[in-house]
Structure 1
Amino acid sequence: MATCRPERIFRLVQDGDSSGLRALGLGDDVTSTLRTLRRARSGDTLVHVAARKGDLDLLRYLLEELSLDLEVPNREYKRPLHEAASMGHRQCVRTPLMLACTRVNVEVVRELIQWGAQLNLRNKDGWNAFQIASRQGDLATVCFLLQASPDIWMTRSKVSRSPLHTAALHGHLDVVAILLQRCGYRPDERDSCGVTPFMDALKRGHVEVARLLMDRHKADERAADALGAQALHQAAMTGQDRSIEFLVTELRVDVNSRATSLNLTALHYAAKEGHTKTILTLRDLGADLQATDAKGRTARGMASARGHAPCAQALDQTCMHNHTSTTDFTAHALPPKLLHQSSPS
């Protein structure tokens, strides 16, 4: 054993080389070392590695012949059973359900429920298995959970976010469609910050999801969160140009609408976050480049204060171009007589 380094042993398990492990011998000193062996950073045991790999024969060897502990958690408080479930290794697991829902694992989910997995368990954030499945976006798992427990959708996280919020935020169009069809969500349900699923979809650029929420759920495109920011302002904050174009051109949202007690425009938000391309998009949609907030700040001043030089430069060039265009138009539009009269004597 002295000639075999710990990483070599972990490599044998990773490679599924049970014969290499057996070649180490089954003496008490070897078995004792294997039982206490852990990776420094992750805290994984050999059983964690084998479970994550899904090697049933190797697991049997480690557990039955070497009597390694199945219940030891790693530094993320995960036991080998959690690792097997999260990786979808049906042959190695009987529970837990929530980690199985983090992957495309409907057969594993089905197996866990048949063996009595509890559907109402929640994690530290207040999420149950259905909310996790809605985040993952596997339609088969979502539908199966709804079939197994028709009221499972009636759940909220600790910050009052619903599975519909979660699916919309991650852009899972087919899951959102099923949730709207089979669940009783009210239009524009809000989380603890006043955010609606419609806002969540557009802040990530999921225009198709937002359009579905408009068509089937009568979402309010001008609804504001707890601070007074609409979907337009949130999309500008995250630099989602398609969302902005959808709101302004299709839904006729005012591009210069104000948000919060500071009277910020979408242009202010884009400048504050350094989204140069979004600034140009807003300009093309008719944003007021000289608009000031409640403190008298323009978008250009906000960009400069935040150190976003490209944004400030884009705003400078746009304002200069607009000024030049206006001056040229005025000069060429005046008749020669009026032009002469308007010139300083």
Structure 2
Amino acid sequence: MEEASTSTPAPMAAKPTVVKKTMAKQFTGKREDSQLHSAVRRGDFSAVKEILSNHMESEDELRDLLRKQNQCGETALYVAAEYGDADVVAELIKYYDLEDAETKARNGFDPFHIAAKQGELDVLRVLMEEHPELSMTVDLSNTTALHTAAAQGHVEVVEYLLEAAGSSLAAIAKSNGKTALHSAARNGHAEVVKAIVAVEPDTATRTDKKGQTPLHMAVKGQSIDVVVELMKGHRSSLNMADSKGNTALHVATRKGRIKIVELLLDNNETSPSTKAINRAGETPLDTAEKTGHPAIAAVLKTRGLPSAKAINNTTRPNAARELKQTVSDIKHEVHHQLEHARETRKRVQGIAKRINKMHVEGLDNAINSTTVVAVLIATVAFAAIFTVPGQYADELSSLLPGQSLGEANIADRPAFAIFFIFDSIALFISLAVVVVQTSVVAIEHKAKKNMMAVINKLMWLACVLISVAFLALAFVVVGEEERWLAVGVTVFGATIMLTTLGTMCYWVIMHRIEASNVRKSRKESMARSRQSGLLEFSGILTKRMYAI
């Protein structure tokens, strides 16, 4: 992140001292550490040699041991390099080929990179002696070890890498276009900047994808020494503008770096920048006034820097140039809006997929629940026919006239006939649902939903039938004298069932009407708008599932 602007930053009185941070030994280890990892963490050189010697008999076992990565993706060589244990690294690297030595941890660093980040020069020397190609390895953002060391301010490491790998290493840029010099300049490492410029002066004019030179990066900070070192290189960088038309003087002004502004103005090569107008139509003086830096504005006025208005009043307007600029601005704005819409659509589609997945999972759960309920109703209906009140005629000696063996004792009652008919229908409906659920596999979402809608209605019917069967037997069980109990239960149960089914039917009808209105509204909206992804998402969010 860029530092907060201050109007009067204190200049650095002396050359900053880079304090090398030593990696603390982590004796507790990390998940999935091997014995070799643990020995390396302890710095136990003899244990490392012993573990390696125990695996010498099998080349495959030795290579598996060396390749072993813990949960963080770290090999034993990575851990040794991170801790700066040059002796252990020298012992391990003997058994690593280039491919294994380049193995990256989950943080994107390989052993060479992590050693450069930690400033472990001795470790880097050992690795370079065995595999010089390691100096050219990059991570996912195309960052070299030189970038990493430069960003951390390890000047000795930077000088060694430039000497050992060649000055061309300094010319390699990250995926965002920034070189190692950009990183060193932004972080205020003057000695690193000096070392890079000394061997590869042309990097001082290299620009990143935003058109920024290392000098643009340097003036954002507070290190005057870095600015001085860059000004000693290609002086043309003083007047180079980034993609927004800002020169180094614009940037220093916006950041409130008054000492750096004065330093830039003291250089005669900066003269063209004093009248440079960026894409926002501002000179450095306009920028100072706009960003609220009155002290810098006063310095600029004292030095005679004009405003954009003063320049335009003395210069004949170029209609063609203004038109071209306007078209360019519109083009960039449209491009930005399209990119924003594309990203929004992508995020919306992702959310829509997750919501659809939730709908599918909910439907699957409903299908499974219906199958269980259908089996339960079938079981109850089947058992009820053989456990009727009054039992059955099971002895020939006790048979009544006209009665057959196995006949229910209450078979002649109308209530039993009602019970038998409704219980049987409920049984066979439930069995039919079980057969369909266990035999038919609906893959397409709409087909599965339609099948579930039919099965739900059948289950409603089965529940009603089993309820009627229960009420019919209730009149038999309570007897003639307590018939009012059966009547009361019938009224109470009928009220509950009718209310429940009526409410469910109401929800189904309202859902169908609402779904029809949403489809109609969506068709009309899509005819007027191209943002179909957003409309689809809004349709999903407004779809309330009542009853299938």
Assess same fold via TM > 0.5: yes
Higher relative contact order (CA 8 A, sep 6+): 2
The 3 A distance-change label for structure 1 pair 127 and 253 is same
Q: CA deviation at 1:158?
A: 0.4
The alignment partner of 2:142 has SS state of coil
1:5 — aligned with what? none
Distance 1:190 1:116 in 2: 28
SS at match of 2:171: coil
Q: How far is 1:123 from its partner?
A: 1.9
In 2, the alpha carbon distance for the partners of 1:160 and 1:90 equals: 32
Hey, what does 1:331 align to over in structure 2? none
Is the 1:125–1:157 contact (alpha carbons within 8 Å) kept by the matching residues of 2? no
2:181 paired with 1:198:
yes
Secondary structure at 2:124 match in 1:
helix
Which residue in 2 is equivalent to 1:272? Answer: 254
Residue 193 of structure 2 corresponds to 210
1:248 aligns with 2:231: yes
- Tell me the SS of whatever aligns to 1:213: helix
RMSD across aligned positions (CA): 3.5
1:168 maps to 2:150: yes
1:89 aligns with 2:42: yes
Q: 2:277: which partner in 1? A: 292
- What amino acid is the match of 1:204? N
Task: Evaluate the alpha carbon distance shift between residue 139 and residue 289 of structure 1 in structure 2; reply closer, same or farther with a 3 A threshold.
Answer: same
Amino acid at match of 2:82: T
> Counterparts in 2 of 1:1-345, with a 5 A limit?
52=26, 54=27, 72=31, 85=40, 89-91=42-44, 94=48, 96-113=76-93, 118-183=100-165, 186=168, 188-249=171-232, 251-260=234-243, 262-285=244-267, 287=270, 288=273, 291-299=276-284, 301-302=286-287, 309=292, 312-322=293-303
* 1:150 Cα deviation after fit: 2.7
More moved, 125-134 vs 204-213: 204-213
Aligned partner letter, 2:282 = R
Is the contact between residue 252 and residue 258 of structure 2 (CA under 8 Å) also seen in structure 1? yes
Give the 3 Å change call, closer, same or farther, for CA 281–258 of structure 1 in structure 2: same
**Match of 2:231, SS?**
helix
Amino acid at match of 2:249: L
Distance in 1 between residues matched to 2:135 and 2:31, nearest whole Å: 33
Tell me how far apart the structure 2 counterparts of residues 216 and 166 of structure 1 sit (CA, whole Å).
Answer: 18
The one-letter code matched in structure 2 to 1:231 is P
Specify whether residues 115 and 252 from structure 1 end up closer, same or farther in structure 2 by C-alpha distance, changes over 3 A only: closer
Q: Secondary structure at the match of 1:192?
A: coil
Displacement, 1:322?
A: 3.9
Please tell me the residue identity of whatever aligns with 1:292.
I
Residue in structure 1 matched with residue 397 of structure 2 by the alignment: none
Q: Which amino acid aligns with 2:265?
A: R
SS at match of 1:195: coil
Once the two structures are superposed, what CA deviation does each residue of 1:180-225 show, in whole Å capped at 9, x if it has no partner?
Answer: 2322562511111111222222223333333333333454321211
The verdict on how the C-alpha distance between 1:148 and 1:254 changes in structure 2, with shifts beyond 3 A counting, is closer
> How far is the alpha carbon of 1:72 from its aligned partner?
4.5
Cα contact 2:253–2:261 (8 A) shared by 1: yes
Contact 1:237 1:269 in 2 (8 A): yes
Q: Residues 9-68 of structure 1, C-alpha deviation per residue, up to 9 Å, x if partnerless?
A: xxxxxxxxxxxxxxxxxxxxxxxxxxxxxxxxxxxxxxxxxx73x5xxxx8xxxxxxxxx
Deviation, 1:315, is: 1.5
- CA–CA distance in 2 between the matches of 1:71 and 1:168? 29
Distance 1:250 1:119, change over 3 A: closer
Shift of 1:171: 2.5
Give the match for residue 492 of structure 2. Answer: none
Q: Write out per-residue CA displacement over residues 98-138 of structure 1, whole angstroms, 9 at most, x where no aligned residue.
A: 23323332234335546869422102343210011111112
| Gap regions ≥5 residues in structure 1 | 1-50, 60-69, 324-345
Q: Which residue in 2 is equivalent to 1:342?
A: none
> One-letter code of the match for 1:232?
L
Q: Is the 8 A contact 1:247 1:253 kept in 2?
A: no
Q: 1:90–1:289: structure 2 CA closer, same or farther, 3 Å change rule?
A: same
Deviation at 1:304, TM superposition (A): 5.9
Letter in 2 for 1:314: A
C-alpha distance after superposition, 1:160-195 (max 9, x if no partner): 011122222222222222222322562511111111
Structure 1 residues 276 and 100, CA gap change in structure 2 (3 angstroms): farther
Separation (CA, whole Å) in 2 of partners of 1:100 and 1:193: 31
Larger radius of gyration: 2
Rounded Cα–Cα distance in structure 1 between residues aligned with 2:237 and 2:281: 21
What is the alpha-carbon distance in structure 1 between the residues aligned to residue 31 and residue 171 of structure 2? 44
TM-score normalized with structure 2 length: 0.40
Distance 2:208 2:30 in 1: 44
Residue 183 of structure 2 aligns to a residue whose secondary structure is: helix
Structure 1 residues 181, 318: CA separation in 2 closer, same or farther (over 3 Å shift)?
closer
Q: Name the structure 1 match of 2:445.
A: none
- 8 Å Cα contact 1:71-1:80 kept in structure 2: no
CA distances 1:250-299 after superposition (whole Å, capped 9, x unpaired): 54235333111x21011222233343433333333365556431111344
Contact 2:84 2:120 in 1 (8 A): yes
Quick check: 2:288–2:297 contact (8 Å CA) kept in 1? no
Q: Measure the CA separation in 2 of the matches of 1:127 and 1:146.
A: 16
Aligned residues: 248
Conserved in 1, the CA contact under 8 Å of 2:218 and 2:226? yes
